[in-house]
Amino acid sequence: MNITYLNQTLRILLLFVLVFGILYVASAVLIPLTFGVVLSMLLLPVCHWLQGKGINNGFASVLSVIALLVVIGGIITLLQYQISDLADDLSKIEERVNSMIIGVKEYIKQHFGISHREQTKIIKEQQSGGMSQAAGMITTLVGSLAGIIIDAILVLVYTFLFIYYRAHFKKFILRLFKPENRKETEVVLNNAGKVTQSYLGGLGLMIVMLWIMYGIGFTIAGVNNALFFAVLCGILELVPFAGNITGTSITVLMALAQSGDTKVVIGVLITYGLVQLIQTYVLEPIVVGDRLNINPLFTILIIVVGEAVWGIPGMILAVPLLGMFKIVCDHCEPLHDYAFLIGPPKEKKGEQGNFITRLFKSNK
């Protein structure tokens, strides 16, 4: 075995461990900064389009961020409108929940011999013992909301600054490399930006399509405020794997609380199954596609690692960041083996393993 090659591999792996350690320790600083980088890449086409209309760089950068705020504000307004309708049904939901609680108490009494009075006494003891914990949870929640607001403002500021000073930052990165390597470095930067824009743009289009499909399905199933739950399920798609299950679980629980009709629950589950089938075999291959060219195993693995390092923000950012890293590995000689490992098998590259994708390609 080549000892030099082994030592080089071990040094690279040690570098990976060190990087993830720094990401974990400095998460409070790096999470908003990374969101700013990714969003600035997503908004660059908007800024370029505005500049093509004769608008200067500074004003175009501001308008790009405002466009992002308009989209987010529109989604929030839609959810708020639906929440106001949902609030009108709170009394009915409360009655339904109370009846479900009474049913559970009756079941416990019949099968475990614990009377309603004893159950109420146990609940009161648990509540009295947990008052201090509840106060602590409220304090933590308020602090978390304040932190989210501050981070959101920081993300917007970072996004604007990265767009406005993009040429300066690009020149700085190029200056870190030798003149003979700067052309290759510029190719890497351009490819990383294009891949991120392509992936996030496709993901956004897919989420809109999911809103439509979930909205139609939930409406047919008879779910009250179907549009709210459709938008919720679509937005939670930003959190891979766990998001769609969480959204559907919330919808099922609310359907039970609203009506208790098993037909509605079955309709929600059928809608979820059909949408997931269409998403997996139609939307993802055609709309999102293999934009990042990453092995599915490492897609799942990086999401798990992202959650361990940065929590939910890490799950959202993990896949596009891995795509950027894959591009760097493709253009860096010592990392070619890792690019091969992260990428899909050669014989399947660009095929998606999907007959629908091959059908569309065969028509070209």
> For 112-167, how does the pLDDT look when each residue is reduced to its tens digit (9 = 90+)?
667 666 666 666 655 554 444 544 555 555 556 677 788 889 999 999 999 999 99
Looking at residue 87, its pLDDT comes to: 63
**pLDDT, averaged across the chain:** 78
Tell me the pLDDT tens digit for each residue of 318-354: 888 888 888 888 888 777 888 888 887 765 444 444 4
Give residue 243's pLDDT band: very low, low, confident or very high (50, 70, 90). confident
Mean pLDDT, to the nearest integer, of 355-364? 47
Mean pLDDT, to the nearest integer, of 83-104? 65
Task: Characterise 239 by phi-psi region: left (phi > 0), alpha (psi -120 to 50), beta (else).
Answer: beta
Give residue 47's pLDDT band: very low, low, confident or very high (50, 70, 90). very high
The closest of 37, 340, 338, 61 to 189, measured between CA atoms, is 37
pLDDT at 66 over 80: yes
DSSP 158-203: HHHHHHHTHHHHHHHHHHTS-GGGHHHHHHHHHHHHHHHHHHHHHH
Looking at residue 6, its pLDDT comes to: 67
Q: Report d(CA 276, CA 4) in Å as an integer.
A: 48
> Are the C-beta atoms of 38 and 320 separated by less than 8 Å?
yes
Looking at residue 50, its pLDDT comes to: 92
- Residue with more model confidence, 92 or 227: 227
Q: Report d(CA 45, CA 42) in Å as an integer.
A: 7
Q: Report d(CA 336, CA 326) in Å as an integer.
A: 9
Distances (CA, A) of 168 to 24, 161, 174: 28, 11, 10
The closest of 305, 31, 68, 300 to 163, measured between CA atoms, is 68
- Residue with more model confidence, 308 or 238: 308
Looking at residue 326, its pLDDT comes to: 86
Tokens, residue 161? 């600054």
**353 DSSP 8-state letter:** T
Mean pLDDT, to the nearest integer, of 86-91? 62
The closest of 123, 279, 124 to 202, measured between CA atoms, is 279
pLDDT at 179 over 70: yes
Mean pLDDT, to the nearest integer, of 100-106? 70
Mean pLDDT, to the nearest integer, of 243-251? 79
Highest mean pLDDT among 13-17, 54-58, 204-208, 337-341: 54-58
